[in-house]
Structure 1
Amino acid sequence: MNVESIISDWCLAGAQALYGNEIAASHIQIQKTKKDFEGDYTLIVFPFVKLARKSPEAIGKEIGEYLLANVREVSAYNVIKGFLNIALTPEFWADRLNQALATPNYGIAEPNSGKTIMVEYSSPNTNKPLHLGHVRNNLLGNAVSKILKASGKKVYMVNLVNDRGIHICKSMIAWKLFGNGETPESTGKKGDHLVGDYYVRFDKEFRAQVKEMVASGMEEEEAKKKAPILLQAQDLLRKWEAKDVETINLWSTMNGWVYEGFEKTYNDLGITFDRTYYESQTYLLGKELVMKGLEAGVFFKKEDGSVWIDLTDDGLDQKLLLRGDGTSVYMTQDLGTAHQRFDEYTLDEHIYVVGNEQNYHFQVLRLVLKKLGFSWADSITHLSYGMVELPEGKMKSREGTVVDADELVDEMVSTARQMSEELGKLDGLTEQQAIDVNRMVGLGALKYFILKVDPKKTMMFDPKESIDFNGNTGPFIQYTHARIKSLLRKAKDAGTEAPSSINLSLCLSQKEIDLIKMLDLYPEVVSTAADQLSPAIIANYAYDMAKEFNQFYHDSPIIKEDNEEIRQMRLALSQQIALTIKSGMSLLGIEVPEKM
C-alpha cells in the first residue's frame, strides 16, 4: 500500500472517531507537503468543516492530536490555515526501505493483472530508411509498451508496415528507369538506403518534369498531375492491385531489400514486436468494410466512382475512403486492420503511436468506425507526439534532408567513445568492455534525450548535448549506476555487503529519509507514466534519483563510515537505488553498465 493510502486510513479513522461515521473516505484528501512547510504529507481539512461545525484550524489541531496519540508512526504535526501537515518517524521510513528491499521487481506490478492493450508503433513506409523521426516513434512505442507491462497490463506490441501504395511505386518506377539493375549486393548499400535513394531520385525527376511543363505554358497544378513519371507510378499501383506478375515480383524484391535494412536498425535500437502486420495483407479487409458501409448508406459514391463519408454534421468534412480507380487510401487499410485486431484479440484499448500531423486522421478513424456500428471504436487512443526538429530546421524525406537512423546510432557510439576516453571513463576496462560501454552510453544518450521530453511536445535534437556526462542526460544516470556498483564491489572486497534489511531504530539523516521517500515513489511513478503514456515521467524520476544520490555520496561517507549499522544501512540504500535506476532505465529501453 502506498503512503498516501496509509495516511488516508489513519486520518479517516481519526475523523470518524472525532466527528462520527458521517465522515466518508471521499472527504479525505491527502497530498505531499509543499517544500516550504514542515511535514511529509498534508491533509486538507476544509471538507470536514460543515460536519464538524468548527473552524479548519480547530479541526486540523484535533485530528493532529488524535494521530499523535494513536499512531506511533506520526512524529509531529502543524496546522497552516486549513491544512494539517503530518510528519512521519524515521522508523516509518526505515520500514518502507525494508519493504522495498524485500520486494523482488520492486515497483513492477503483477504481470497481466490489468487491461489488455495493443500498441502499434514504427509503421514505416517501404520507400525509405528509418530516420530520426522514426527513432522517436520507435523509442516511444517501445517504452510505452514496457511501462504498460510494468503497470500490470497485458500488452501486444505490433508493427504495421506500409508496404504498398503510391510511395513504394515511386521508388519502383525510379529504379526501373534509372537503376540499371543495381542491388544492395552490387552497391554495398543497406537495402532500405538503396530504395530510399530512388525515392529521392523520383522526386528530383518529378520536379524537373513539372518545371519543364510549366515552362512550356502549362499551369503548375496541372503539370503536377500530368508529369509523366507520376503517371507511370500511378499506373504501376494499378498494376500492383491487378496482381500483374512483373510488378509484384519487383515489389517483392525491393521490399525484401528494405525489410533486411529495417531489421538491422531495429536490432541496433533494441526494438522488438510481438507481431508485424503488412498493409498489403490487410487493405482488402478495409475495402470490404467500405463496400458494406456503402450498401448500408453510411458512405456515398461520387460520379467518378470514388467512395466518401460526409462528416460535415460532425464538424469535419468529407473524407475519401476509396479512389475512383478502386485503389485504397490509408484510411481504408486502417479501418480493416482495426477491425481485424479487435476481432482477433480481446482488447480493452488500442494505442496508435503516430505523430501529431495525423491527429485529424485518427479523429476520423474513430468516427467512421462508430458510424459503422463498432462499439470498440471509443477504445482507440492516438498517442500523438511532436515532431523532432534539428537546429537547422525540419527534415524532408523526399528531398533527402533527414538524419538517417543508422548513421545517427554510429555517430552516437563514436561520440560516446571519444568523450569517455577524454574523461577517463574507460580506464581499467578491456577492449570488449569498452566497446560494450560505448554502445550502452551512445544509445543511452540518444534514447534518454528523446524520451525525457513529454511526448506531446515538439523537440529539438542536439547530439552533443545528449551525450554530456553532467546534467539531465542518459550518460549521467548510467555513470551514477556504475558508481554505485563500484561502491558495492569495494565494500564486498572490504568484507561488508549490503544487508537484506536494516535496523528500524537507526537514526536516519534527513538526506537518507529524502532518498527513501524517492524510492518509495517508484511504484506510483510507474503507474502514473502508464496512465499518461509518458516515458518522460520515468526518465526525469531516474535523473532526480541519480542527482540526489550523487549529492548524498558527496556529503556522506559510506564505506568509510565507522558505525557498522549505519554503513550497512547506507549500502542497502545505495543498492536499492541502483536497482531502481536500472529498473526505470530498462523501461526506457536503456541499459546501464556495471563498470564505467
Structure 2
Amino acid sequence: MNFIIDATVKAIKTLYQTDIDVSAVSLQETRKEFEGQVTIVTFPFTRFSKKSPEQTGAEIGEYLKSELAEVSAFNVIKGFLNISIADAYWVDQLNNVITANDFGIFKPNGKKVMVEYSSPNTNKPLHLGHVRNNLLGYSVAQILAAAGYEVIKANLVNDRGIHICKSMLAWQKFGNGETPESTGMKGDHLVGKYYVIFDKEYKKQIEELKLQGQTEEEAKKNAPLIKEAQEMLLKWEAGDDEVINLWQTMNGWVYAGFEATYHKMGVAFDKYYYESNTYLLGKDIVEEGLEKGVFFKKEDGSVWIDLTDEGLDQKLVLRADGTSVYITQDMGTAQLKYDDYQMDESIYVVGNEQDYHFKVLFLILHKLGKSWAKGLYHLSYGMVDLPSGKMKSREGTVVDADDLIAEMEATAKEQTEALGKVNDFSQHEKEQLYHTIGMGALKYFLLKVDPKKRLLFDPNESVDFQGHTGPFIQYTHARIKSVLSRANVLDIKAKRTELAPEERDLIMLLTQFPVTIKQAATDHNPGAIANYAYEVAKGYNKFYHEHSILQAEDELVRQFRLQLSAACAKVINKAMAMLGILVPERM
C-alpha cells in the first residue's frame, strides 16, 4: 500500500504546504465494523491543518479519492480515515502479483547468516527439548532463506567430555559386546541405555561409601566409577588408541541414530562442528585479551574478565592449570565459524537457561573488538512440558524424540481413521499420510507460539482437524487441491468488476505474504508465518462455504474463483514449507 502513503504525503504538501516524511503516515487495517480496507490515522496531521481530526481526515480523503483511481470511497470516524480500495485493484493484485511465479520469493540480498541448532550430546538420544530446538532452528533458517539470505545450517555436536566417557565405561563393564545390530536398537538409544546404567551403578556406589562414613560430596568424588570415567577422559585427551577407537565406534552408533531421527523430523544441516575438534580453541583469544587489557590474571594464574560495570560479575575464561572452560571454547568456536564463512549474522538456537552465558559471550567478543560480534544473536526459547502421565520415556524422565514422533503418528492415525476419509488409500499412502499429519501437528503446535514462551504440548489437541492446528491447514490445502483436480483451470486473467467480501478479504490477506515473511525473518519468529498460514486457511474455508466455485453462476466467476483457490494453495504450501511442514494433496 505504498501508493496510499505516497499520495498522503502529497496531500499534506498540497493541502497544508508542509513536507512530511513517509514514516509519518501510519497505515492500519480497517476494523471489521467499519467500511474500508485501509485506515490512516489523522491526529498527527492536525498541527499542519489547524483543523479537527475529522475535518483533516475528510480533506485528505477527498484529495485521495480525486487523485487515485484505486480509491473508491472513504469515511472518517473521529481521527481515523477509512479508505475503500476499488475491487479492480484487488483483481489486478491477484492476476498480476499473487499468481506470479516469484510471489513470496525475495531476491538474494547479499547477506549471509548461520543458524546453529540441535547441538546434541552423543551420550543419549534426542529428546523433547531437542525437538523444539531442531524445529525452531530449521524453520528460522527456511524463513531467512525465503527472505533472500544465504543461510548455513550448522550443528555443533557435543561429542567429548565426562558424560560421553560415562556411557563408554558402562558399555565396557556391562555391555557384553552389545551392538545396535545384535540388539536391534537404534545406536543412540543403545548408548543412552549405558549412560543410564552408569548413573544407577554410580548411585549405588555413592550409597555404599556413605554407609562407610563418607559425606555425600566425598562419596561422589571417591566412587570408583567416576574415578574410572575421569581416567578414561584423560586417556582420551592423551590420544590413547583403545579409548579413541571405542569413542569412534560408539559415536558412530549415535550418529546413525541421530540421522534417522533428523530424517523423521525433516531437518538437515549444511555444516557439522564437533566439540572434539574445537575444545582446545579459544586459548589464543585469551592471550589476545590479556594483551589488550580486556582480561586480567589472578595470583593463581587463572584468567578473568570483569563485567561488573555492565551489571554482571567477574567471569573465569581460563583455569589456573591452563585448561578451558565453556566460554573459552565458545569464543574459539565463534571465531572459527566466522573464519569459515564470514557471515553477517550468527544465530544460536539455545534454551533460555543459557541466557546469561550468551550475554557474557557476546559482551566479551564485543570488548575484544571483534567486528562480527554485532551480528551474534541468541534465539532463546522456553521449555516444552507434556501433560502429566501423557508420555514417559524408557527411563521415566525425559521424553525421547523417537517416542514422541511414534506417538504423533499413532494419534494422527487414530483421528484420521475416525473421519473415514482414507478407505481408498493404499497402506503405504496411509503410513505416509499419518507421518505427514503427525509431524505437521507437532511442528505447528511448537512453532505457532513465541519461541520465548514455555509451552504445554498435548498430542491430542495438536491433531484437531478443526482447531488452530497444523492438520486444519493441511486439510484446507487438500480441500483446495480436491476442488482444482475436478476443474479445468484456464491460464487466463479473469477480470471481475465486483468482488464478494470474502473474495476481497482473501486477496487482501494474500497480498500480505511478502511483508509477513520479511517481518518473521527480522524477528526470527516462525510464529508469524504459522499464524498467517492459519488466517489464510480460515479465510479460504469461509469463502468456500459462502460461495460456489465449481457451480459458479458463469464461467468468468468460476475461473476467477479457481485461480483464487490455486493462489491460496500456493501460499499455504510455501508458508508451511517455511515451518518444515508438508501439505498433502489429499487426505
Q: Which segment is superposed worse, 257-266 or 21-30?
A: 21-30
Task: Give 1:313-392 correspondences, 5 Å limit.
Answer: 313-324=309-320, 326-392=322-388
Q: Which segment is superposed worse, 113-122 or 155-164?
A: 113-122
Letter in structure 1 aligned against 2:571 = T
- Cα pair distance change 1:235/1:307, threshold 3 Å: farther
| Residue of structure 2 equivalent to 1:594 | 585
Whole-angstrom CA distance in 2 between matches of 1:431 and 1:100: 41
| Residue of structure 1 equivalent to 2:398 | 402
Instruction: Give yes or no for contact 1:388–1:460 (8 Å, CA) kept in 2.
Output: yes
Whole-angstrom CA distance in 2 between matches of 1:114 and 1:85: 39
Instruction: Give yes or no for contact 2:98–2:510 (8 Å, CA) kept in 1.
Output: no
Q: How many residues were matched structurally?
A: 587
Instruction: Give yes or no for contact 1:101–1:500 (8 Å, CA) kept in 2.
Output: no
Question: Cα deviations across residues 187-216 of structure 1 (Å, max 9, x unaligned)?
Answer: 221111111111112222222222233333
Instruction: Give yes or no for contact 2:117–2:350 (8 Å, CA) kept in 1.
Output: yes
Shift of 1:318: 3.0
| Residue of structure 2 equivalent to 1:22 | 19
Whole-angstrom CA distance in 1 between matches of 2:432 and 2:423: 14
Whole-angstrom CA distance in 1 between matches of 2:227 and 2:300: 18
Whole-angstrom CA distance in 2 between matches of 1:392 and 1:474: 23
Q: Secondary structure at the match of 1:284?
A: coil
Residue in structure 2 matching 1:130, options 126, 129, 154: 126
- Cα pair distance change 1:393/1:526, threshold 3 Å: farther
Shift of 1:550: 1.3
Whole-angstrom CA distance in 2 between matches of 1:207 and 1:230: 10
Residue in structure 1 matching 2:493, options 493, 497, 501: 501
TM-score (norm 1): 0.94
Whole-angstrom CA distance in 1 between matches of 2:124 and 2:72: 63
Shift of 1:9: 1.1
Shift of 1:34: 2.3
Task: Give 1:553-568 correspondences, 5 Å limit.
Answer: 553-568=544-559
Task: Give 1:234-313 correspondences, 5 Å limit.
Answer: 234-294=230-290, 296-301=292-297, 306-313=302-309
Shift of 1:306: 4.5
| Residue of structure 2 equivalent to 1:576 | 567
Instruction: Give yes or no for contact 1:29–1:43 (8 Å, CA) kept in 2.
Output: yes
| Residue of structure 1 equivalent to 2:200 | 204
Shift of 1:371: 2.8
Whole-angstrom CA distance in 2 between matches of 1:378 and 1:157: 20
| Residue of structure 2 equivalent to 1:56 | 53
Letter in structure 2 aligned against 1:403 = V
Asked whether 1:522 is paired with 2:513, we answer yes
Instruction: Give yes or no for contact 1:466–1:473 (8 Å, CA) kept in 2.
Output: yes
| Residue of structure 2 equivalent to 1:486 | 482
Shift of 1:322: 3.5
Q: Which segment is superposed worse, 432-441 or 396-405?
A: 396-405
Q: Which segment is superposed worse, 71-80 or 480-489?
A: 71-80
Task: Give 1:3-42 correspondences, 5 Å limit.
Answer: 3=1, 5-42=2-39
Whole-angstrom CA distance in 2 between matches of 1:171 and 1:305: 34
Whole-angstrom CA distance in 1 between matches of 2:248 and 2:394: 22
Letter in structure 2 aligned against 1:233 = A
Instruction: Give yes or no for contact 1:102–1:500 (8 Å, CA) kept in 2.
Output: no
Whole-angstrom CA distance in 1 between matches of 2:58 and 2:288: 68
Q: Secondary structure at the match of 1:491?
A: coil
Instruction: Give yes or no for contact 2:9–2:19 (8 Å, CA) kept in 1.
Output: no
Letter in structure 1 aligned against 2:466 = N
CA RMSD of aligned residues (A): 2.2
Whole-angstrom CA distance in 2 between matches of 1:169 and 1:325: 22
Whole-angstrom CA distance in 2 between matches of 1:283 and 1:143: 29
Whole-angstrom CA distance in 2 between matches of 1:69 and 1:367: 56
Whole-angstrom CA distance in 2 between matches of 1:543 and 1:175: 48
- Cα pair distance change 1:394/1:509, threshold 3 Å: closer
Instruction: Give yes or no for contact 2:117–2:137 (8 Å, CA) kept in 1.
Output: yes
Shift of 1:393: 8.4
Shift of 1:342: 1.4
Letter in structure 2 aligned against 1:401 = T
- Cα pair distance change 1:361/1:246, threshold 3 Å: same
Shift of 1:570: 0.9
- Cα pair distance change 1:252/1:379, threshold 3 Å: same
- Cα pair distance change 1:23/1:301, threshold 3 Å: closer
Letter in structure 1 aligned against 2:495 = N
Question: Cα deviations across residues 126-169 of structure 1 (Å, max 9, x unaligned)?
Answer: 11111111111011000000001111111111111111112212
Whole-angstrom CA distance in 2 between matches of 1:395 and 1:278: 32
Whole-angstrom CA distance in 2 between matches of 1:431 and 1:395: 27
Asked whether 1:77 is paired with 2:74, we answer yes
| Residue of structure 2 equivalent to 1:173 | 169
- Cα pair distance change 1:69/1:545, threshold 3 Å: same
Letter in structure 1 aligned against 2:494 = I
Letter in structure 1 aligned against 2:415 = M
Whole-angstrom CA distance in 1 between matches of 2:356 and 2:191: 29
Task: Give 1:89-108 correspondences, 5 Å limit.
Answer: 89-108=86-105
Whole-angstrom CA distance in 2 between matches of 1:79 and 1:562: 36
| Residue of structure 2 equivalent to 1:513 | 504
Whole-angstrom CA distance in 2 between matches of 1:516 and 1:330: 51
Shift of 1:309: 3.1
Whole-angstrom CA distance in 2 between matches of 1:400 and 1:237: 28
Q: Secondary structure at the match of 2:473?
A: helix
Whole-angstrom CA distance in 1 between matches of 2:407 and 2:22: 55
Q: Which segment is superposed worse, 236-245 or 99-108?
A: 99-108
Question: Cα deviations across residues 440-464 of structure 1 (Å, max 9, x unaligned)?
Answer: 1121111111111211111111111
Residue in structure 1 matching 2:422, options 416, 422, 426: 426
Whole-angstrom CA distance in 2 between matches of 1:489 and 1:394: 40
Shift of 1:312: 3.0
Whole-angstrom CA distance in 2 between matches of 1:245 and 1:287: 26
Residue in structure 1 matching 2:539, options 532, 548, 555: 548
TM-score (norm 2): 0.95
Asked whether 1:233 is paired with 2:229, we answer yes
Q: Which segment is superposed worse, 427-436 or 445-454?
A: 427-436
Letter in structure 2 aligned against 1:501 = K
Q: Secondary structure at the match of 1:285?
A: coil
Question: Cα deviations across residues 379-433 of structure 1 (Å, max 9, x unaligned)?
Answer: 1100001111111289999965121111222222233223222211213223332
Structure 1 residue ranges without an equivalent (≥5)? none
